[in-house]
Every structure is written in structure tokens, then in C-alpha cells.
């Protein structure tokens, strides 16, 4: 699972869809999850919640 989180971190770093100002906080959180076994299982849930909160904003901007 840690390798998968590393891949996600790489994708976040390269993403043009995540605001540059927000990337460090997202990456920091992912790195914390990578080190916490119980939290690793929660990554998908956290991203789902993140999407639920931001999807209406993205839709309003015409990005989805």
C-alpha cells in the first residue's frame, strides 16, 4: 500500500488540476498516511470525501 501512496504523491506533484498552493498540504497528509498503517486503509475514503466537497466547485467552473 505504501508504494501506491508513493504513486499518488507523484501524481499529485505532477498534477495540473491541484492548485500549487494546496499541493504541499496534500502531499504532507499523504506522507503522514504512508507511515500510519490504519490510516493507509483510509486514503480512498479521504479522497472520496475530498472529491465530494470539491466536485460542485469544479462543476461550477466547468472543469467536470
Distance CA 44, CA 5 (A): 10
Domain regions of the chain by residue span: 2-60
Does this model's pTM top 0.85? My answer is no
Q: pLDDT tens digits for 6-43?
A: 888 999 999 988 889 999 999 998 888 777 766 656 77
Distance CA 53, CA 48 (A): 9
Amino acid at each position: 500500500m505504501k508504494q501506491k501512496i508513493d504513486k499518488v504523491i507523484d501524481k499529485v506533484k505532477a498534477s495540473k488540476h491541484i492548485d500549487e498552493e494546496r499541493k504541499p498540504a496534500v502531499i504532507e497528509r499523504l506522507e503522514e498516511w504512508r507511515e500510519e498503517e490504519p490510516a493507509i486503509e483510509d486514503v480512498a475514503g479521504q479522497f472520496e470525501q475530498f472529491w465530494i466537497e470539491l466536485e460542485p466547485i469544479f462543476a461550477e467552473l466547468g472543469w467536470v
